Structure formats: C-alpha cells, structure tokens
Amino acid sequence: MSMSNAVVRTTELKQLDFEQIKKKQRTKSFLKGMMFLLPSIVLFSIFLFYPLLRTIYLSFFLTDAKGVTTVFVGFDNFINMFSSPIFIQSIQSTFLFVLYTVPVTIIISLFLAVIANEKLKGIGFFRTIYSSTMGISVAAASVFWLYLFHPTIGMLNVILGTLGFENIGWLTDPTWALIAVSVTTIWMNIGFTFLILLGGLQSIDTYLYESADIDGAGYFYKLRRITIPMLSPTLFFVVTVTIINAFQTFGQIDILTQGGPQNTTNLIVYSIYREAFVNYQFGSASAQAVVLFIIILLMTLLQFKFGERKVHYQ
Amino acid sequence: MKKLLALLMLGLVLFIAACSSEGEASEDDSSAEANGSSEETSESSEADGEKQTVTFWHSMGGAGQEALEAIVDSYNQSQGAVQVNAEYQGTYDEALTKFNAVAGTDSAPTMIQTFEIGTMSMINSGNIVPIQEFVDADGYDMSGLEENIVSYYSLDDTFYSMPFNSSTPVMYYNKDAFEAAGLDPEAPPETFEEVEEASTKIVESNPDMKGFALQAYGWLYEQLLANQGALLLNNNNGRTDTSTEIGWTEEEGKSIFTWVENMVNDGTFANYGTNGDNMMAGFLAGDVSMFLQSSASSRDVIDNAPFEVGIGFLPHPEEKERAGVVIGGASLWMIDGKPEAEEQAAWDFMKYLQTPEVQAEWHVGTGYFAINPAAYEEQTVKDAYEEMPQLQVTVDQLQATKPSYATQGGLMDMIPEGRKIMETALETVYNGGDLDEAYNTAVDQFNGAIEQANAARGE
C-alpha cells in the first residue's frame, strides 16, 4: 500500500516537474526567438507597418499641403476615386501595361536564356550582353529611349521615314504611348529576368538530359518535358516579381510621358505621385495607394493559388 | 568562469564608454548652444569675423543655375558678413514638397525660391514672413521695381515675396523660313487668324516643315486666356475673395481650342504633346516654324539655332484686344522662425539681387526679366541688345501689358492640378478628339478641383 502510494506520488511529481520544465523551456525559446526577430520586427514596424496604417488613416481625410489632416470625409475619397473617369482609366492603363510587358519580357528572356545556356565558345560574351540592361538605371534608359522616340529627329522615326512610312508620334499619340513605354520597360527588364532564368537553367541536373538522350528524346521534347518543368519554380518567382514591378512602374513614366497623352500612360503609381506631390491631396493619394495595395495583394494570392499548382519543386 | 568574468568586464567597459560618450554629447550640445548664442550676439554687433550663413534653396537648373551661382559667388566675395549657400533642390514642385516636409524645423532653409502658382500655398502654409515687414522696417523703396511684376506678388497691398526670376510667354519664329515662304520676317503674326494663315503658307512653301506648335502646357493656356483679358478664376482671379469656380467664359476658353483644331485640320500643326524640350529640338531642327514658350528660353534658342530667330508677342484672337501677359517665374520667400540676424542677412542678399548691375547680368545671361528696370540702362544689357535685339521684345511685351486682374494672374493652390486638366484637354484636340466634349470635361474637372481644394482647407 505504502509502496504503491509512493510510486504514484513520484510519478505525479515527475509529471508536474516535467510540465513545469516544458513550460519554462517554451517561454525561454519564445523569448529567444523574439530576440532574433526583434531587429526585423522593429525595422518592419517603422518602415512598413506604421506607414501602411498611416496611409489607411490618411485615406479617410482631406489634408492641407503639409499633409496635416483637416476634414474627416469617411469613404468619400474612395467614392470620388471610383466615380472619376481619370482613375478608372488609370486602372485600365495599369492592367494593359502589365499585360503588354509581363508575358513579352518573360518569353524573350526565356528564349535568350535557353540559347545562352548552350555550351559554346565565347558564350560568356553573349551572356554579358543579354544581361547588360540590368546595369542601366531606369533614368538613363528612359532618357536614351526618349531620344529614340523623338518625333522628328528620333532614330525610330528616321528609320520609318526611310522605309517610306508615316512618322509615328510615339509618346504623343494616345494609341502608341503606352506601347512605347512598354517597349522601354521590356527592354529594361530583360537583363534581370534573363539572369535569373539562366541561373535556374544552370541548376538543372545534367543527368536528366543524359538519360533523355539515351532514350532518344529530341531537342524540343527535352525542352518541353525537362527544361520547363524543372525551371517552373524560377519562372514562378520571375512572373510574380515582374508583375509586382509592372504595377509599381514609375521612373520611365515620369521621364517619358508624365502620364500623358490624355492620361493614357497615367499608371497608378504615377497617379498617386501626382495626387500627393503636385496636387497636394494626400488623402485621395493615400486612398489610391490602398487600392493599389489591395490589387497587388489579390494578384499575388491568385497566383499562389492557381500558379503554384503547376510549379514542380524537386 | 574566467570567460564569464572577461565578458562581464567587457560589458562593463562598453557600458561606461557609452555613458561617458553620452555625457560628452550633452556637454557638446550645451557648449554648441553657448557658442551659437555668442555667435549671434557677436554677429549682430559685427565685431567677430564669423560669417552669418544663409541657406538658399533654389530650382534653377542648366544655364539658370550657372548664372545664379555666379551671382551668389560675387555676393559672397563682395562683403565679409554673410555667406550665402545656394542649394539646388530640384524642380519647383520638388523643392516645395521638400520644404513642406521640413517647414517649422531647424532643417528649413532661410529663404526659398518658389514658382508663381505656389504663392497661395506658401501664404496658407503659415511658415513665411511677408517681405512687407522688411520693406517697412528698412524703408526700402519698392517703386523702383517693375510695376507689373510687383502687382503679381502683392495681395491686399501686402508684399509677400521678393520677385526674382520673371518671364512671360513669347512666340519664337524661324525668320529664314518666313522669308522662304514669302512672309515678312520682321512682322510676326499677331492674331490667331494670322498665325493660321502664316502656317498654311509655310507648309505650302516647304511640306517638310509644320507651321505652328503649341506645347500642351497649362501655363500657356492661362497666358492665352489672360491675353484676351479673361480671368482664370472667378472673384477676380481669387484676388478679392477665394475662388469658387472658373473665371473665363465659354467663348474665351473655347477660342484657343478652336484655333488649334483649325490648324490640326489644315495639317499645319506640329504635335509635341507635353514635352517642351522636344518642341524646342524640333524648332531648332527646322521641323516647325513657330512655337510659344517662356522668354526664359530665349538666350538658349538664339544661341543654338542655325538660322535667324525672331521673337514676337503672344498671339490673341482677332476680335479681342491684346490685354497682355501674366508674369510667370518665381519669387523668393523668407522663412519664419529663423534668428533675427539670419533673416536680416537674407534680406540683405535679396536687396543685392535687385541692384541694376546684378539684374542686368541675370537678364542677359538667361532671358528672364530685370525686376529693376534701371538694369536696362546698364552697358551689359545695351551691348547684348545690340547683338540680340530679340531679347528686347520680351521686355516690350511686359511693359505693354495693361495691369488688370486678368493680367495679374490667378491665385489658388489647385492651379497645378488645373494645368494638368487643361493639358489633357489640349492633347485630346491635338489627337483629333471631339472639341466640345474635351472642353466640357475639362471645365467640369477644373471646377471639381476648385471645390475639392476649398473643402480640404476645412473652412
């Protein structure tokens, strides 16, 4: 009796002890974890979370030129925005711009990456050339294209002229301006996407190709069945990043068109800039920023939901 | 154990070091403060050799920046008490944004150059000292300055800022092309109708050259309105009371659009969109024979053109009398909350800028007006006119302007937004869009912007 009692007591004690130690350990590891996270939490709070909350707050107010809130207007900024044809057009232009730039950039870069992945003599030279636009700043590239697009002395119109075509007002004609800006953007983005895709290609194991060779697979069969599936994680990353970048385009717009002609290239980030720093309407600018945030968030979620299914991780 | 001890020691040393440096820092602060106050007193008595620094934010790029820096250098060398540091802060818009961010703090400049349409937002900001206070205290005589310029920058008889770089729009034309087309190169077209006729003749004589270019630029639209005697905003351009809607009539506003549409239909109009640099490059390359632009570019255009450049007055509709132009450009603002000595030093620099010698150099170097008409009597200006008589046209146009509310220009903080709205409407017409629709949309949006701006002020 006393023996069994003692045994029960000790097990009880042990269990209690165990629970306590476990709890202690958990708090300890939690604190440790927090310590490691603290720098990033502090940085994120200061530079991301606070501005985000502040933007949402500002979007419910009208402000003076210094950004100090003056009148609370509730959802008026949002209502005005969605009833304004300028903002609707700005959204349309942004989606069109994404549609023009993202697929073309990726197809061209993928093509270049595949041909630059061949092991040939002097391939390093071509790889450098193909990725060289990465080293050119947005401003420099835009100024360079600005001269190419010049209506009368620009190279593009000079070429059209010698071929006997009418001159095109690349940056002044509403039907062409968005295309002109897209061409510039595609040219600028190729370097980065090319480099990432080439890196992805080079990390594919060669034994896959070797066994395919033994099975007698052709070049395009290998491309379709080995290269693309093995590259899919990289492609997924590139697509996501390019889409987000396209939504946030600013520099080339500011230099090439300033949102004109007739607001056809007034992409959403440029529209936010104008609203805040030219018109000094920080309230409605914040409202637009919130909408942009929601759009990008939705796009990224959709991509992860549908795009990721097709991604093959090794 | 030893390790732990060493760590402890290290920690302690660091702690002590941190404490002591903190202590030092606070001591430094107090000594700096002491220095500062002693500096102030010494400077006001001008006994010490220490110079009073004045920070001057400006927005002059390119040739304007060179000319301005030369003037600042010569001022710094001309006397020993004040050191002016001129800092380029980007375009007027950018500088104003930066200023709004630092206004009221120690990082704010002593004086800032702001464009004419920023006048109202500067006054509303409450961070400035009206120049009138210095004028009164100093007994400075403003009557020596150009009347039309003075009238733009004073509101309710108070002088808010010191005019500095002022310009008006003029019409540049290619004299060689005029001659080739059988037009009189000494008599530029003066009315909308004459411009249309001249354009047709130019294109007839040379199919590779367009007749006329109008940059889609809201400022030029405002000027073309003012030249008809039309108001931009109601309540006398916002000068007698806060504006509540546009000030021009449909006839006045539409006349500019119709004029452009006629030329677009005739195929004599060159469309450079909103890009002024492209338009100037096109003119210099002989692709267009006439264009409107600020007189501040005149030195640039004359120097770079491979042909004879003529400068004429801004055109107006035939049935309207020429009313004149609005002063464009920028003025200098004194920032509130600076030490008395610093503000006095900045005021001294402002007075220096208005002297005839400096103004003469500025006018000839850039094409901006001399704020002080006495500058036109200076030898530098006379020599330059000998060489480039076109420069004089810009001055004549200003002096021919009749002072009225229309030519004083609009005062409101939403004007930058309004400009963008008119630019979009102009572009629509350039690209063959429907005139009435473009015009009505623009007017609606313009009125909406005024309403929004009034609401945001919370009054």
The three state secondary structure string of B123-187 is HHHCCEECHHHHHHHHCCCHHHCCHHHHHHHEECCEECCEEEEEECEEEEEEHHHHHHCCCCCCC
Distance from CA of B252 to the nearest CA of A (A): 22
B98 within some domain: yes
Among residues B134, B430, B385, which one has the least CA distance to residue B259? B430
Among B97, B273, B428, the residue with its CB nearest the CB of A171 is: B273
Both B414 and B315 in a single domain? Answer: yes
More reliable by pLDDT, A196 or A66: A196
B14 within some domain: no
Judged by DSSP in three states, B105 sits in coil
The whole-chain average pLDDT of chain B stands at 84
Cβ–Cβ contact A67 with B under 8 A: yes
B382 within some domain: no
Q: At what angle do helices B340-353 and B131-138 cross, to 10 degrees?
A: 80
Whole-Å CA distances, A299 to A91, A236, A241, B435:
14, 13, 11, 39
Both B309 and B235 in a single domain? Answer: yes
Both B315 and B369 in a single domain? Answer: no
Which range of residues forms the domain containing residue B73?
A: 52-166+328-377
**Over 90: is that where the pLDDT of B288 sits?**
yes
**Over 70: is that where the pLDDT of B26 sits?**
no
Both B125 and B109 in a single domain? Answer: yes
pLDDT band at A13 (very low <50, low <70, confident <90, very high): low
Both B180 and B266 in a single domain? Answer: yes
Mean pLDDT is lowest, of A278-282, B36-40, B281-285, B447-451, for B36-40
**Who contacts A225 (Cβ-Cβ below 8 Å, separation ≥6)?**
A212, A217
Q: Which of B341, B359, B377 marks a domain boundary?
A: B377
Whole-Å CA distances, B408 to B220, B243, B294:
15, 15, 17
Both B286 and B342 in a single domain? Answer: no
Instruction: Write the DSSP assignment of A60-102 as a string of letters.
Output: TEEE-TTS-EEEE-TTHHHHHHHH-HHHHHHHHHHHHHHHHHH
* Average pLDDT value for residue range B336-349: 91
More reliable by pLDDT, B268 or B4: B268
Amino acid at residue number A182: S
* Average pLDDT value for residue range B368-394: 86
Both B83 and B177 in a single domain? Answer: no
Among B125, B423, B455, the residue with its CB nearest the CB of A71 is: B455
Cβ of B420 within 8 Å of Cβ of A153? The answer is no
* Average pLDDT value for residue range B395-410: 85
**Over 70: is that where the pLDDT of A4 sits?**
no
Chain centroid to CA B142: 20
Among residues A82, A169, A96, which one has the least CA distance to residue B210? A169
pLDDT band at B315 (very low <50, low <70, confident <90, very high): very high
Instruction: Write the DSSP assignment of chain A as a string of letters.
Output: -HHHHHHHHHHHHHHHHHHHHHHHHHHHHHHHHHHHHHHHHHHHIIIIIHHHHHHHHHTTEEE-TTS-EEEE-TTHHHHHHHH-HHHHHHHHHHHHHHHHHHHHHHHHHHHHHHHHTS--TTHHHHHHHHHGGGGS-HHHHHHHHHHHT-TTTSHHHHHHHHTTPPP--TTTSHHHHHHHHHHHHHHHHHHHHHHHHHHHHHTS-HHHHHHHHHTT--HHHHIIIIIHHHHHHHHHHHHHHHHHHHHT--HHHHHHTTT-STTTT--HHHHHHHHHHTS--HHHHHHHHHHHHHHHHHHHHHIIIIIGGG----
Task: Give how many domains chain B has, as a whole number.
Answer: 2
Distance from CA of B100 to the nearest CA of A (A): 5
* Average pLDDT value for residue range B172-194: 93
**Over 90: is that where the pLDDT of A311 sits?**
no
The domain locations on chain A are: 2-58, 79-310
Among B274, B287, B413, the residue with its CB nearest the CB of A260 is: B274
Mean pLDDT is lowest, of B13-22, B188-197, B408-417, for B13-22
Both B140 and B175 in a single domain? Answer: no
- Give the residue from chain B lying closest to A150, CA to CA: B278
Residues of chain B with C-beta less than 8 angstroms from the C-beta of A283: 456
In angstroms, the CA A108 to CA B55 distance is 51
* Model pLDDT for residues B207-233, shown as the tens digit of each residue: 889 999 999 999 999 999 999 999 999
Eight-class DSSP state of B328: E
Chain centroid to CA A30: 33
Cβ–Cβ contact A117 with B under 8 A: no
Both B305 and B222 in a single domain? Answer: yes
B391 within some domain: no
Q: Can you state the percent helix, strand and coil of chain B, rounding each to 5? A: 55, 15, 30
The whole-chain average pLDDT of chain A stands at 88
B309 within some domain: yes
Q: What is the ipTM of this complex?
A: 0.74
Tokens of A241: 């990043």
Both B209 and B258 in a single domain? Answer: yes
Contact B123, B116 (CB under 8 A): no
Token look-up 């697929």 returns: A103
Cβ–Cβ contact A142 with B under 8 A: no
Contact A70, A62 (CB under 8 A): yes
Both B153 and B242 in a single domain? Answer: no
Tokens of B53: 């620094």
Among residues A86, A145, A104, which one has the least CA distance to residue A264? A86
Q: Topology of domain A79-310, per CATH?
A: MetI-like fold (1.10.3720)
In angstroms, the CA A70 to CA A61 distance is 7
Cβ of A62 within 8 Å of Cβ of B456? The answer is yes
* Model pLDDT for residues A164-177, shown as the tens digit of each residue: 888 888 888 888 99
**Over 70: is that where the pLDDT of B433 sits?**
yes
Size of interface A-B (CB pairs under 8 A): 98
**Who contacts B235 (Cβ-Cβ below 8 Å, separation ≥6)?**
B241, B242, B243, B244, B247
**CB atoms inside a 10 Å sphere around CB A13:** 10
Token look-up 């036109």 returns: B376
**Over 70: is that where the pLDDT of B16 sits?**
no
* Average pLDDT value for residue range A144-161: 87
- Give the residue from chain B lying closest to A70, CA to CA: B458
B20 within some domain: no
- β-partners of residue B52 are B82
Residues 218-277 of chain A whose Cβ lies under 8 A from any Cβ of chain B: 257-263, 274, 277
B5 within some domain: no
Q: What is the CATH number of the domain that holds B239?
A: 3.40.190.10
Instruction: Write the DSSP assignment of B405-444 as a string of letters.
Output: HHHH----TTHHHHHHHHHHHHHHHHTT--HHHHHHHHHH
Cβ of A279 within 8 Å of Cβ of B417? The answer is yes
Judged by DSSP in three states, B345 sits in helix
Contact B350, B343 (CB under 8 A): no
Amino acid at residue number B193: E
* Average pLDDT value for residue range B156-171: 88
Both B222 and B345 in a single domain? Answer: no
**Over 50: is that where the pLDDT of B44 sits?**
no
In angstroms, the CA A197 to CA A256 distance is 29
Q: How confident is the model at residue B275, as a pLDDT? A: 81
Cβ of B456 within 8 Å of Cβ of A70? The answer is yes
Instruction: Write the DSSP assignment of B10-69 as a string of letters.
Output: HHHHHHHHHHHHHHHHHHHHHHHHHHHHHHHHHHHHT-SSPPEEEEEEE---HHHHHHHH
Q: What are phi and psi of B338, to 5 degrees?
A: -100, 155
Instruction: Write the DSSP assignment of B249-302 as a string of letters.
Output: -HHHHHHHHHHHHHHHHHT-EE--TT-HHHHHHHHHTTSEEEEEEEGGGHHHHH
